[in-house]
Amino acid sequence: MDKQPHRFAGPPGQEDMPYLLTPGPLTTSRGVKAAMLADWGSRDVEFRRVVSEIRKGLLGLAGCNDSYECVIMQGSGTFAIEAALGAFCPKAVTKTLVVVNGAYGDRAAAILSHLGRPMVKIDKGDSAAPSADEVAAALDADPAISHVWIVHCETTSGIVNPIEEIARAVKARGKTCMVDAMSSFGAIALDMGAGIDVMVSSSNKCIEGVPGFSYALAKRDMLQASRGMSHSVVLDLHEQWRGLETNGQFRFTPPTHALVAFHQAMKEHAAEGGVPARGARYRRNAQILIKGMRDMGFSTLLPDNQAGPIIQTFLTPRDRNFHFETFYEELRRRGFAIYPGKLTKRPSFRIGTIGKVDEAVMNGVLKAIKEVLTNMMVTDLAPLEG
Ligand SMILES: *Cc1c(COP(=O)(O)O)cnc(C)c1O
């Protein structure tokens, strides 16, 4: 394996770097990278226009009516999650049901418990989808539950949860519905009108921007009522909103480059054809990848009707010659960065199908995988039993 393998040329602007087949940071376009080649002042009038267009554009993309606001928060996706939970789930008057089917649901539950906010869980393990009936039954059994938190695409496995049915069941009972749509927003349609009061996502997922900030779309009356509820100064969603509304500025230094890059990414998202077109490209990526992997003999964790277009989980082959670290390194040398598995029980690995990647990249990674398996002398791709 010493000789230099054929290397698939990386993304435009960084041809000697691998394509990121991960759930973020992910591969961005050359235009998005180029937008970062200028320095912007945070009080600059043009910069404030960019921020205001991003906030309006995100509300439009989510189909929000004018009862919603967009609040941008510095930091990765989890910062908006903690900010939203801190603002909207105060101790004395709320109890939150967290619907868990993977690491990201678990993380929201961990934040609530760290903050000492009342919380209960439905835990489906890491590869089963929760149903609206289950959520409804949990709400009916415990009238003290006021809020529900659920992940749209649980990136741990790639499963897409039936978010709108669940939101309708939550609303029918007069409760507040909050959604982590981090890894789906921009690629899988989300109907806020189904009864979603709060949605959080971040800059470096399906809009194809770079890491640096996250955002919450939330009902204005909830934001107004959240004054003084936050456990934190920096993560105070209400104060952040007030700041952006008062003078269009952030309270603390914003990630200016990430914001102008995101503004460009939103233009490219619209030019591609918005959510339907972006979703269609990712679905095509996923179909090509899954078919090619199955043709080689790999097994997917999820059945096709549950695996979303975002990231695919493959079960580790039982062949003794298969070592994930070698597999990973050899693929990286060929121009592709894949992702380790995160399941608690079954050994697995993941390949992301989002970012500025298309059919040619998918065919490229499949070809590289075949070559690496041959070199590793792996022939038995049946999964290890979990
Ligand atoms: C990426 C992601 C997050 C946020 O993770 P960060 O590392 O904080 O950006 C949260 N939830 C889901 C479902 C995600 O995919």
Query: Is 131 a pocket residue for ligand 1 (Cβ < 6 Å)?
Result: no
Distances (CA, A) of 284 to 68, 271, 315, 370: 33, 18, 21, 20
Ligand 1 center from residue 3 Cα (angstroms): 37
- The answer, yes or no, to whether residue 157 has pLDDT greater than 90, is yes
For the domain covering 31-270, report its CATH number.
3.40.640.10
CATH superfamily of 19-23+274-376: Aspartate Aminotransferase, domain 1 (3.90.1150.10)
pLDDT tens by residue, 250-262: 999 999 999 999 9
- pLDDT for res 86: 98
Contact 352 CB / ligand 1 (< 6 Å): no
Per-residue pLDDT at 270: 98
Burial of 197 (0-12, 13-18, 19+ CB in 10 A): buried
Residues 6+ apart with CB under 8 A from 137: none
In this predicted structure, what is the pLDDT of residue 2? 58
H and E: helices and strands count for the chain: 12, 14
Residue in 100, 182, 214, 353 to alter for ligand 1 test, most ligand atoms within 8 A of Cβ: 182
Name the residue ranges covered by the structural domains of the chain.
19-23+274-376, 31-270
- How many whole angstroms from 295 Cα to the centroid of ligand 1? 31
68 lines ligand 1 (CB under 6 A): no
- For ligand 1, pick from 126, 160, 161, 183 the residue to mutate: most ligand atoms within 8 Å of CB: 183
**Which DSSP string do the residues of 234-274 spell out, in sequence order?**
TT-HHHHHHHHHHHS--SS---HHHHHHHHHHHHHHHHHTH
- 160 pairs with which residues across the strands? 153
The helix-helix angle for 45-61 and 256-272 (nearest 10°) equals 40
pLDDT digits (tens, 9 = 90+) for 269-282: 999 999 999 999 99
Sheet of 348-352: strands edge to edge? 311-315, 348-352, 339-340
Quote the tokens at residue 323: 């070592």
Looking at the CA of residue 183, tell me the nearest atom of ligand 1. Answer: 15
CA distances in angstroms from 221 to 88, 168, 229, 291, 301, listed in the order given = 11, 20, 14, 47, 41
Encode pLDDT of 47-60 as tens digits.
999 999 999 999 99
Ligand 1 contact, 330 CB (< 6 A): no
Instruction: Report the pLDDT averaged over residues 8-37.
Output: 96
Residue 5 has pLDDT above 80, yes or no: yes
Asked if residue 151 has its Cβ within 6 Å of ligand 1, the reply is yes
Average pLDDT along the chain:
96
Q: At what angle do helices 132-141 and 163-172 cross, to 10 degrees?
A: 30
Residue 317: predicted pLDDT: 97
From 111, 180, 190, the mutation candidate for ligand 1 (largest count of ligand atoms within 8 A of CB) is 180
Residue 343: its pLDDT value, please?
86
The three-point CA angle 355-185-173 to 5° equals: 160
Judge if the beta carbon of residue 182 lies within 6 A of ligand 1: yes
Residue of 172, 185, 175, 179 lying closest to 218 (CA atoms): 179
pLDDT confidence band for 286 (50 / 70 / 90): very high
Atom of ligand 1 nearest to the CA of 151: 13
Please provide the DSSP assignment of 153-211 as one string.
EETTTTEE--HHHHHHHHHHTT-EEEEE-TTTTTTS---GGGT--EEEEETTSTT---S
From 20, 22, 73, 76, mutation site for ligand 1 pocket: most ligand atoms within 8 A of C-beta: 76
Measured between its terminal Cα atoms, the distance across the chain in Å is: 30
Do 19-23+274-376 and 31-270 share a fold? no
Q: In terms of C-beta density within 10 A (0-12 exposed, 13-18 middle, 19 or more buried), how is residue 360 classed?
A: exposed
Residues of the chain above pLDDT 70, percent: 99
Task: Decide: 230 and 87 in contact? Cβ < 8 Å.
Answer: yes
Helix, strand, coil share of the chain (percent; to 5)? 40, 15, 45
> pLDDT per residue over 357-367, tens digit each?
999 999 999 99
How far does residue 152's CA lie from ligand 1's centre (Å)? Answer: 11
Measured over the CA atoms of residue 229, residue 233, residue 235 and residue 240, the dihedral's sign is positive
Pocket of ligand 1 contains residue 26 by CB under 6 Å: no
Whether residue 243 contacts residue 197, with contact meaning beta carbons closer than 8 Å, is answered with no
Gap from CA of 84 to ligand 1 centroid (Å): 14
Does 149 contact ligand 1 (Cβ within 6 A)? no
pLDDT score of 1 more than 60 = no
Cβ-proximal residues to 211 (8 Å cutoff; 6+ apart), any chain: 24, 25, 76, 202, 203, 204, 258
H or E element, residue 307: none
What's the pLDDT tens digit per position in 229-248? Answer: 999 999 999 999 999 999 99
Mean pLDDT across 67-93: 97
What integer pLDDT is reported at residue 386 of this predicted model?
64
Tell me the pLDDT tens digit for each residue of 292-336.
999 999 999 999 999 999 999 999 999 999 999 999 999 999 999
